[in-house]
Amino acid sequence: MSLKRYAIVFVLAILGLIVVGIALAPLGVKLPTGISVWMPPMLAALNAGTKYGEQHGAAPPKAEAWRLARLMTLVAIAIHILLSVGFIAVSVPSQGWGLLAAIGPVGMIIIVLVMVAVTFLSNRFFLGLGAKTALKAKR
């Protein structure tokens, strides 16, 4: 499984959500807030699982799936950190830092932990689902 491919699909999913959000804004439609947390890892893990199933002819064993989910989650965290730093850097400084100040350090830690947990579990579940889907498609 390629972590580089996972990262590319992850970033493309984020960019896709941004484009869809911008396209829907004039219509007064907003994407659900949590969609940016679970959809990129879902799509990237489905893709990774599909490739794994095609290459190995089987779904990953449970231990391997959990290991891969941890690695994919580390990639996702790195991407989120880069994007967060970029957002704060390009936004109006008072707006970006003001948001962090309003949440507070404890609130920020809770949000990050929830995001990591959702990302990890999404990676694990959709990796297996992607592999099983690829195997069913071969039959």
pLDDT at position 93 is: 59
Confidence of residue 101 (pLDDT cuts 50, 70, 90): confident
Residue 103 structure tokens? 């949440």
Confidence of residue 25 (pLDDT cuts 50, 70, 90): very high
Confidence of residue 46 (pLDDT cuts 50, 70, 90): very high
Exposed / middle / buried, residue 36 (Cβ in 10 Å: 0-12, 13-18, 19+):
middle
R_g over Cα of the chain: 17
pLDDT at position 88 is: 67
Q: Residue 55: pLDDT above 90?
A: yes
Distance CA 136, CA 112 (A): 36
Q: For residue 113, give every residue at least 6 positions away whose Cβ sits within 8 Å of its Cβ, in sequence order, or none.
A: none
